[in-house]
């Protein structure tokens, strides 16, 4: 384990907030790792210790990986954000741009008709259904969190722009211990996701868009499904990324070098800011990256960017502090709005 003395209060706050299960925290500053710590257990029985190379499902933090891939392609001239999606994906019916897909403005956060069992694990079935789906609102006019569809929508554009799957792009471009679709050889290192012990808030009654956005297809809602080989190995790029905290911190702390200043500035400028058609509160997004917002206030600096994940995972960069942070956990807490209570003390210590 590693902890620069200046960050000791952050690490103490991290350890105090873990509770049941396990977690890991990593922070980079000035291009070097200054915190790399882990604690607790990684299996359902609570007997296997969390280890340095333990990976875990980070849920929607996965979107930050997909987003970063998109901007890597932009920097290389392989992806035009202002181009219509149909320029890369001819069967795609909705008239919208790649930028609108990334900014949750395409109007495709959900599928109306129930998808057959197993569809979440079937890339072709999901992308074909989304290509034919009429938008829920006029693209570009409003935004709403594309909770699960984001990964298939953006991922299919990336696949068509490069001829390479999202799974292989992540491996080739973003480095070790970051995965969309966990390789079989890494399963022995994977922490089991523990079911929620309770709720830290009360979710509003979902409207028809939100209900379908989170439940169609329903495969991952089956108890225990998230820990099965089928769910781990599938390509569900919005929600089944697996990572270590160290890899997330290194990625986000190094985005300025990876993407270049111009590409990164465009990627992180507010593009969607206001009422969210799916989540109900006010959210903020750049071109794929989440920005601190009313629903998920993950950092006090509005210029921070990254993504939160259901259950508590978090990864972000703060360009003013020059840091990248990754926090991963296998103990799910349900926090419909507001920060995860485990983040609050460590972030207070970080920004003190």
* Topology of the domain comprising 2-351: Beta-lactamase (3.40.710)
| pLDDT confidence of residue 334 | 82
Residue 143 pairs in a beta bridge with none
| 59: its two tokens | 């849920």
Question: Which residue positions in the chain have pLDDT lower than 70?
Answer: 197-206
| pLDDT confidence of residue 85 | 98
**pLDDT above 70 coverage of the chain, percent:** 97
pLDDT in tens, 181-224: 999 999 999 999 998 865 443 344 467 899 999 999 999 999 89
Q: Which of 59, 66, 17, 61 is nearest to 37 (CA)?
A: 17
| pLDDT confidence of residue 222 | 92
Which residues have a catalytic role annotated?
60
**CB-CB contact of 336 with 352 (8 Å):** no
**CB-CB contact of 11 with 37 (8 Å):** yes
| 1: its two tokens | 């384990």
Q: How far is CA 336 from CA 19, 50, 219, 274, 311, in A?
A: 20, 27, 21, 17, 10
| pLDDT confidence of residue 244 | 98
**CB-CB contact of 70 with 48 (8 Å):** no
pTM for the structure as a whole: 0.96
Q: How far apart (Å, rounded) are the C-alpha atoms in residues 1 and 39?
A: 10
Domain ranges of the chain: 2-351
| pLDDT confidence of residue 95 | 98
| pLDDT confidence of residue 207 | 77
Strands of 56-57's sheet, edge to edge? 56-57, 241-243, 178-180
Torsion of CA 297, 339, 63, 27, to 10 degrees: 90
Strands of 305-308's sheet, edge to edge? 2-3, 32-40, 22-29, 323-329, 314-318, 305-308, 290-291, 282-285, 272-275
pLDDT in tens, 12-47: 999 998 888 999 999 999 989 999 999 999 999 999
DSSP letters along 208-223, please?
HHHHHHHHSS-GGGST
Q: How far is CA 34 from CA 18, 71, 245, in A?
A: 20, 27, 13
| pLDDT confidence of residue 206 | 60
- Residues in the chain, total: 352
């Amino acid at each position: 384990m590693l902890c620069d003395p200046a960050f000791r209060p952050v690490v103490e706050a991290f350890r105090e907030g873990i509770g049941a299960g396990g977690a890991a925290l990593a922070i980079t500053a000035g291009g070097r790792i200054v915190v790399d710590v882990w604690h607790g257990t990684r299996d359902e029985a609570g007997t296997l210790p969390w280890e340095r190379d333990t990976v875990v499902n980070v849920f929607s933090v996965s979107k930050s990986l997909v987003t970063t891939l998109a901007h890597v392609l932009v920097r290389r001239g392989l992806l035009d954000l202002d181009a219509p999606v149909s320029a890369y994906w001819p069967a795609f019916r909705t008239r919208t741009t790649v930028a609108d897909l990334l900014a949750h403005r395409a109007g495709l956060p959900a599928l109306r008709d129930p998808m057959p069992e197993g569809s979440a694990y079937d890339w072709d079935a999901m992308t074909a259904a989304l290509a034919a789906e009429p938008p829920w609102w006029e693209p570009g006019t409003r935004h709403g969190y594309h909770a699960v569809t984001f990964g298939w929508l953006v991922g299919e554009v990336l696949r068509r722009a490069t001829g390479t799957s999202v799974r292989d792009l992540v491996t080739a471009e973003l480095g070790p211990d970051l995965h969309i679709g966990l390789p079989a050889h890494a399963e022995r290192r994977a922490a089991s996701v523990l079911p929620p012990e309770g709720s830290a808030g009360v979710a509003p009654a979902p409207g028809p868009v939100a209900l379908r956005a989170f439940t169609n297809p329903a495969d991952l809602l089956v108890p225990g499904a998230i820990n099965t080989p089928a769910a781990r190995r599938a390509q569900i790029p919005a929600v089944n990324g697996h990572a270590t905290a160290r890899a997330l911190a290194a990625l986000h702390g190094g985005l300025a070098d990876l993407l270049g200043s111009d590409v990164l500035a465009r990627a992180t400028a507010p593009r969607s800011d206001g009422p969210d058609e799916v989540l109900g509160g006010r959210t903020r997004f750049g071109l794929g990256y989440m920005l601190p917002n009313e629903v998920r206030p993950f950092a006090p600096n509005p210029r921070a960017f990254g993504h939160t994940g259901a259950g508590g995972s978090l990864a972000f960069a703060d360009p003013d502090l020059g840091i990248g942070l990754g926090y991963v956990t296998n103990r799910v807490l349900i926090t419909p709005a507001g920060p995860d209570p485990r983040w609050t003390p460590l972030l207070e210590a970080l920004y003190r």
